[in-house]
Structure 1
């Protein structure tokens, strides 16, 4: 692997080196002419790969100038892949599938808060965020990634891993339009259209609205993905910095899941591990049975008001709706069924049953409604900048695992899992494996003081109190009906920032975070009428304390940062997926205490105008502090590597833009990742390389902006496993500390996406 990484790294650096060399030769003086005086000047960052920062914490970002050179299909997780600590496991090159993952410093995406225009995007029940639902890349002004410390006013929980924040583009000051047409590998076809109103009369309002339509065949196996998306933003600015806006994002997608192999499956079939292309009677592996539809609608309304020279008020209200299905293939019999712990005396009607058995679509449907607001006052009082605010969030989550019949050709009667079309018992009740509704109410208050000790030295102290309450109803027959959970967490923090000179900074911080158990932990679960999972509200919160120390240098042509970090976790919760009676459901494992420490670094070098070379890297030491409790015994896990936590990873990116030609490279290497707590199974390190090249056509056709670019995604096409989809306690049978033989179970993995090429014609009007 080391040799291949070196080869790829050389290719990643070759393009900017050649382009820079051509510019240098063009600027060389004639041999027989007088040599002009040399003036040394700096070059501002042309691509926003390392924008200037002053926050007393680790923070990285990418801006629109970099985003517009990437493939327009990429989602937000894929776009931040180069940044320190970001480990992205992509299952498809275009970022359409939900089968993907992100970790930061070894912490999974259910530990990473996500905001868009200040509004939370994480699922309220399981804390996941789904990047394929976010705004189109053309409308994203900046993506900010805080690898560890989350802002005190951020309306998120379960964010020990950090915070990913998306800011939408501002509506243009003048009326205009943008059209992007893309075509590529696997019959990729995409249309994007955006309209800007410009200033609307004398109202002070301006707006944009965009629509995109994307379709691509699955790069491996049968199936295809479809996505329609609408973004809009209405903005008004007035007075001395006052502004109010409303952002809307609507997503309508139907995407195919990619099956995740075990290590044995991967060695036996490689990329051939797929769902079946054609349906045969009794087949539960047909690809149409794993095709999930989702619709989501997001509103965010941030407001910034300058009430006086010393007082500022900020508020963001939000409203969200979501409905989708994550289906799977399974079989039902007409007799011998249970509803909760109740045995059904009467047979159920199963269309297409043969000998009393039928293949059906197993539904995992979720309907969410969420509303909330976070508001704060900021008061400048001498050397003190005091922030005080509150956050309120109310959400309902309706989760049902039901069953829908399929036709003779394998097509589901209804892919959405609507109850009216689902299979019912003989007395008319919904036949369901899981049937529950949860209301989650989150209330928080925060108070912080930023003190300017001197012109160069600043200190911040703060406190945040968060209460999470869940009230639920289990609709399955059994002893459990109503459930309740209520937890409060006290989250103090402190930070210090010192400006050594106009270019150099040092900082340090201490931050606390917590994560409540997922909502499904509250509910009893049954299989064959037997209780297989005992719901409880006694599970402990995960609680973590993290520290960072960092140094930044911001120069005219060279900028870099280096951050040392340390975490300690109590009741570390690790997300996984379990097979529960034939249904794949989210679950968590309490891994006890964990200690992690390491280094993050990034460098941005700008040797000439329009040229940028970016390098990032991370060293991570993540170890379990406890043996893992399993079935009344303890697995020997103390001192083992934490799962999904590569010790080394690095990225190399470069961009070039001379006003006519432009291009970019993006190389990422991720080291070995363990998939079990006993470290008896892992996947090797791997590298990926993306390239782009394009030409600005403005001036050749007319004065309007017109760009043509070609993106090569994963150009070296390595056949690798890109990440751990479902961790395991132990892959091999292992004796516990007390002598019990604990059976092994195979983890599953993401298969790294294949190579793809996308050509895009972009035209402004």
Structure 2
């Protein structure tokens, strides 16, 4: 879809006044920095203080005032960040890149989080659809897939904790997205993640404004693409220290290829309470209701032969379960995150992040099932020796019934991540604990269709049942997992803060168990218990306020992917359609060495090496005779990835702020593995 978005903004009188006097005019601000000789090529660019230096040492240096001009519009554009908003200053002792509000606000309002990262080094992304609404955003980072990269939103993990899939469209509207930080090699030691074998992505929402007002935006394009967005800010509520916002958006479009459409309703809300010296409690809420009609995934030969025309049927004919009206994916979500920070004393800080996430379907697809000779679980029905009779129902065609395969899944996760930090002199010690519990239920059902493609209601038809009342199903799944993680990290600053040494250790304990309560399931119950030790080491040296070198060695892991790794799936056409493998968690050992320069021109380069064992590949295939897919987990053995990445960004100069990034990657699979 080629989209020509248009925007309109309407403001209340108070907001319009704020926008004219404070946001849309050029703003000047002063920054106190240590006096120094400008580096060659800076051309009077901004000089930043060394953030790791102590306050005492900074105060002892001569000072000068640097004044800078910039713009700030109502949607957050400032035109002050290097690289057009793609290269904020990073000081972490690892390869790390960022996306700021300055860049996000300039993009199409319907852009996805995955697409916002497409220009960063090591990241390759592809849209499933132009508006980023369909589930299954595709991204790789240093050659590893999106399911191997941890994703945090306001400190909470947002990927499915079992399959590790994520639909970033359900998280937050781009109008409310404040920043993204991408760590290409390793996760934070305190990150509540069990899939971050290939790094970490952290997203943060904008904070509520201190001034009351509102923001409204609209977009329109081809294929009936449209989005409407409204946000209202309370501003500071009296002297309570509380402020908040709430927003609502609606997005819809026709499918870019084939028949069908997509629609999304989304609510964001964030509230902040601040008091004292660095104490704060935040409440982040989000609700999403989204659906889309599916599209077929062609093979390369099918794409070459049919191109855009290879897709679901636009009209129903008896027996044709590729009719688009039978394929509908619903993705609904409730997200509650409560990050808090408390300064207990001059040396003690406590951070805690409780969160609750609920996701549910259903997902629908068409499937023809046998009247007799099929399977209920692993037990045949409609045969002389079966305890289950044939499905003697109307609307038969060649001993087959056309149905909607409905998968009404539901998943809930509750957790808390808490850390206590003690800072004494040049040393900081952090101890933390993360606990999480997840439950998942789903039960495939089959809804009978008449010859016009309409669902047939009534007992025995919706869903299809046997005479004894049992619901025909391929999956009757109950799955749960519980995890505990303890972590300890210590950071020591030496040489007046120029040298930082950090070491940490994390121990993750994970327990899983699942059942598939269909007849003949083998194994009907299975699980796994895992213990993963994860040491980390970082060292960085700040040569001066503009130059930094670092080196690190880290470990990470990803628990086996998908419920199919524990209990098999079944289908009326084929019986058992997935095999349970004895999968072990992926485990990675990574090393990096890098250099950064910050100033008028900004440059970062890093060389990396990653070794992985027990690489879990989660391939997928269509359920026989249907338009729904099933996961097929495989242990592919070892993998080695090596390469170099870099990025360059110029601070705005005469309205010119280019950004350039690149990566060379050499990745090999170190073992042969069987495919099927």
CA distance in 2, matches of 1:350, 1:508: 68
SS at match of 1:278: coil
Superposed counterparts of 1:627-638, under 5 Å: 627-628=672-673, 630=674
Tell me the residue number matched to 2:412. 369
2:302 aligned with 1:265:
yes
Counterpart for residue 491 of structure 1? 534
Task: Write out aligned runs for 1:334-733 (5 A).
Answer: 334-344=371-381, 345-348=388-391, 350=393, 352-411=395-454, 421-454=462-495, 455-478=497-520, 479-518=522-561, 519-526=563-570, 531=576, 533-535=578-580, 538-555=582-599, 557-582=600-625, 583-606=628-651, 608-628=653-673, 630=674, 729=675
Secondary structure of the equivalent of 1:266? helix
Determine helix, strand or coil for the equivalent of 1:132. helix
Contact 2:407–2:442 (Cα < 8 Å) also in 1: yes
Q: Does 1:120 align with 2:157?
A: yes
Please say which of residues 581-590 and 505-514 is displaced more in the overlay: 581-590
The reply to whether residue 157 of structure 1 matches residue 202 of structure 2 is no
Q: Quote the offset at 1:39 in angstroms.
A: 11
**Any conservation in 2 of the 1:289–1:411 contact (CA below 8 Å)?**
no
Correspondence for 1:137? 174
Alignment of 1:184 with 2:221, yes or no, is yes
Instruction: Give the direction of change, closer, same or farther, for the CA distance of 1:290–1:590 in structure 2 (3 Å limit).
Output: same
Instruction: Write the mapping of 1:281-300 to structure 2, written as runs, cut at 5 A.
Output: 281-300=318-337
Stretch of structure 1 that moved more, 257-266 or 51-60:
257-266
What is the alpha-carbon root mean square deviation over aligned residues? 2.1
Quote the Cα distance in structure 1 between the aligned partners of 2:449 and 2:208. Answer: 46
Give the TM-score taking structure 2 as reference length: 0.84
1:116-137, Cα deviation, whole Å (9 max, x unpaired): 1111101021111111212000
Q: 2:110 aligns with which of 67, 73, 76?
A: 73
- Residue 108 of structure 1 contacts residue 575 of structure 1 at CA under 8 Å; is this kept in 2? no
Deviation at 1:90, TM superposition (A): 1.1
1:316 aligns with 2:359: no
Distance of 1:484 and 1:198 partners within structure 2: 50
Per the TM alignment, residue 579 of structure 1 is displaced from its structure 2 partner at its CA by 3.3
Instruction: Tell whether the 8 Å contact from 2:438 to 2:480 is kept in structure 1 after alignment.
Output: yes
CA distance in structure 2 between the aligned counterparts of 1:501 and 1:448, rounded to whole angstroms: 26
Q: Deviations over 1:300-335 (max 9, x none)?
A: 000011111111100000001111133222101222
Q: How far off its partner does 1:279 sit? A: 1.2
Q: Assess, with a 3 A threshold, how the Cα gap between structure 1 residues 100 and 420 changes in structure 2: closer, same or farther.
A: farther
* Secondary structure of 2:258 counterpart: coil
Give CA deviations for 1:137-194 in whole Å, capped at 9, x if unaligned. 0001101111111001111111112111110110110110100011111111211000
Q: Secondary structure at the match of 1:77?
A: helix
User: Does the CA-based 8 Å contact 1:125-1:397 persist in structure 2?
Assistant: no
- C-alpha distance in structure 1 between counterparts of 2:580 and 2:85, whole Å: 48
Count matched residues.
Answer: 589
The answer as to whether partners of 1:362 and 1:401 remain within 8 angstroms in 2 is yes
Cα separation, partners in 2 of 1:590 and 1:480, compared to 1, 3 Å? closer
Counterpart CA distance in 2 for 1:605 and 1:351 is 70
* Structure 2 Cα separation of the partners of residues 240 and 197 of structure 1: 23
Alpha-carbon distance in 2 for matches of 1:402, 1:535:
22
Shift of 1:377: 0.5
The more displaced of 441-450 and 508-517 is 508-517
What's 1:683 paired with? Answer: none
CA distance in 2, matches of 1:257, 1:609: 47
Q: Distance in 2 between matches of 1:608 and 1:76?
A: 28
After superposition, the Cα gap between the structure-2 partners of 1:419 and 1:79, relative to the gap in structure 1 and judged at 3 Å, is farther
Instruction: Quote how far apart the aligned CAs of 1:534 are.
Output: 4.4
Q: Is the 8 A contact 2:357 2:413 kept in 1?
A: yes
Q: Does the C-alpha gap of structure 1 residues 393 and 360 become closer, same or farther in structure 2, counting only changes over 3 Å?
A: same
Cα distance change of structure 1 residues 353 and 317 upon mapping to structure 2, 3 Å threshold: same
SS at match of 2:417: strand
Give the unaligned 5+ runs of structure 1. Answer: 1-37, 631-728, 730-744, 746-765
Q: Distance in 2 between matches of 1:411 and 1:134?
A: 34
Alpha-carbon distance in structure 1 between the residues aligned to 2:542 and 2:315: 65
Do the aligned partners of 1:99 and 1:258 also contact (CA within 8 Å) in 2?
A: no
Q: 1:282 and 1:420, CA in 2 relative to 1: closer, same or farther beyond 3 A?
A: closer
Q: In 2, distance between residues paired with 1:573 and 1:213?
A: 37
Shift of residue 245, structure 1, vs aligned partner: 0.7
Secondary structure at the counterpart of residue 327 of structure 1 = strand
For 1:99 and 1:240, locate their aligned partners in 2 and report how far apart those are by CA, in whole Å: 42
